[in-house]
Structure 1
């Protein structure tokens, strides 16, 4: 009897054991379900105020993980669903849905962030209208996908570590009106297509661009054009006169430009600033410059210009700073002498007999012993506008205190419009 009970207990244990094995085997053979996609769970985990913000959340977080230096700690605020409160991010209603909320602009100016690329970040923010990133340490390329940003009209990548050729991807952004890539290491030539864009502001200064300027330079409806501190060679394109209705400020200083000043510059009726100092330009000043009635700052210093300083230019009523120093001019008239006395006109280091601080006779003779000429010489003495003969009296002129936007672009800091 005892033996029977022991056998029954053993049979029960064996039955339970085999049942356990069957259960384990069924679990092993069953195909496990894949883990849930974390991005698909984001809207369920976090409470976003708009689906558009939920879509860009993982993009921002991915970019955050690529940042290798954040001295100001701005990325510490890039946490949670309140993206509109992230430092540097700004929300608004997109033009295609005024009831939606989305990331409309990004301002990283001065954050000093370091990241190897912006590719996969700004080009993935479909409603972005402004991106400002002055004074960071971003590098890499400007993604061709940026052309898909249908609302982007301001792009500022200035004072970063970008290099390589001109970022041609920006040429396909249909709404772009402000492009600032100054203080980087871009090099090579400028594509002519850049002057076919509907840009108001084009700041390309302080890079390594070289060779000649595109012949269609004047075709762009640009207002502020800054190409200073590069390595451009060749002449100033004569097409510059075509920009007469829009162009207000031009900075071409500190390049390697050669040839004579185009007569067509005189057509720029709205010009307030023209600076070609520190180039290799030669020839006389065209009398057409006397048509620049709004010009306030005119810098032709440190070139190889010569001849008489035109009185029609010295008669310009708004002229507050006229620099001709370190050239080879030989004569000034009474109106120009008045500007010299008032400190408006600087003619130091020229070849003007009777004035102080001029070049030596030997230096001037050596310069003029080499034959020089300009094409279309008859145009240099032609004035294509009506000149007022009751010229402004010197005492009625005041030095301009107006803010000249393009000169502020010569510093690394952000440009305030």
Structure 2
């Protein structure tokens, strides 16, 4: 699949997550994505009178909030050049109920208790291309589960604008470059997986000062330096640094492997912008 296909899908996911109330993707998805247990989602609050009147349900009992996404999804579907897993077959143009589409998840919108699209999960769909800088526009993004695809290019520093993100998983792709220093601005981040990519350079020590962090998976990359704050989290089993090129740590790549990688030309510049400073 070409870059345009993935770019279209990623922009769709950002649009949905930015436009809707995001109540968290199912805890099972978090376990699948990061292989780390998460707390079960809290029960929906009991119905209470709302000051604002609820919109009337549409024909067929489908929420108007869901119906408004139907034409957007179908438009993007028509732009997909390759669908190796047949995901798009579930996006039936004769079925306007997006709840039946694979990769989309719905929940109640609190203001009017209508069903709405609450999240997307494209893990393992084999989408290809870079992560666009426009991801930073999704200020309300809570979870980005982009692992097990064919993503390439550098990590954009705009990821650091996702101040509400709690889970960010891009493991098992082909991303490269250093970690942007803007990642230290992810104040609500709990789980970050960068494993199994081609990332390199120093791990920003300020990132390991994020108070809510319970998992930072750096494994199977080519990082060469790690600071004292991150070393503290290694001892606490929060940070996983195995399979890198960090002197003095166990379970690293061989010197020959590291030298071979470091000798190759690098195209990603250092990204020192810190939007929260």
TM-score (norm 1): 0.44
Q: Distance in 1 between matches of 2:182 and 2:240?
A: 20
Q: 1:277 to 1:369 in 2, by over 3 A?
A: same
Partner of 1:272: 166
Q: Does 1:241 align with 2:136?
A: yes
CA distance in 1 between counterparts of 2:216 and 2:189 reads 10
Residues 268-319 of structure 1: per-residue CA shift (max 9 Å, x gap): 0100000000000000000000000000000000000000100111111111
**Do 2:91 and 2:101's aligned partners in 1 also have CA atoms closer than 8 Å?**
no
List gaps (5 residues or longer) in structure 1: 1-93, 97-103, 105-124, 131-149, 156-160, 183-198, 203-220, 387-417
Query: After superposition, where does 1:94-173 map in structure 2 within 5 Å?
Result: 96=56, 126-129=59-62, 167=91, 169=93
Identify unmatched segments of 5+ residues in structure 2. 1-53, 71-84, 108-115
- How far apart, CA to CA, are the structure 1 residues paired with 2:143 and 2:99? 15
User: Which residue of 217, 221, 227 corresponds with 1:333?
Assistant: 227
Q: Which structure has the bigger radius of gyration?
A: 1
Cα distance in 2 for partners of 1:310, 1:296 equals: 16
**Larger RCO, structures 1/2 (Cα 8 Å, 6+ apart):** 2
Q: Secondary structure at the match of 1:281?
A: strand
Of 102, 119, 122, the residue aligned with 1:181 is 102
Q: CA, structure 1 residues 179+318, in 2 after alignment: closer, same or farther (shift >3 Å)? A: farther
Superposition pairs of residues 373-412 of structure 1, within 5 angstroms: 373-374=267-268, 377=269, 380-386=271-277
Q: CA RMSD in A?
A: 3.3
Question: 1:254 matched to which residue of 2?
Answer: 148
Aligned-partner Cα distance in 1 for 2:87–2:121: 19
- Please point out which of 205, 211, 217 is paired with 1:323: 217
Distance 2:185 2:273 in 1: 11
Q: How many residue pairs were aligned?
A: 201
* Whole-Å separation in 1 of the counterparts to 2:257 and 2:92: 46
Given that 2:90 and 2:102 are in contact with CA atoms closer than 8 Å, whether structure 1 keeps it comes out as no
CA contact (8 A) 1:314 1:335 kept: yes
Output one character per residue of 1:26-56: Cα deviation in whole Å (capped at 9) or x when no partner: xxxxxxxxxxxxxxxxxxxxxxxxxxxxxxx
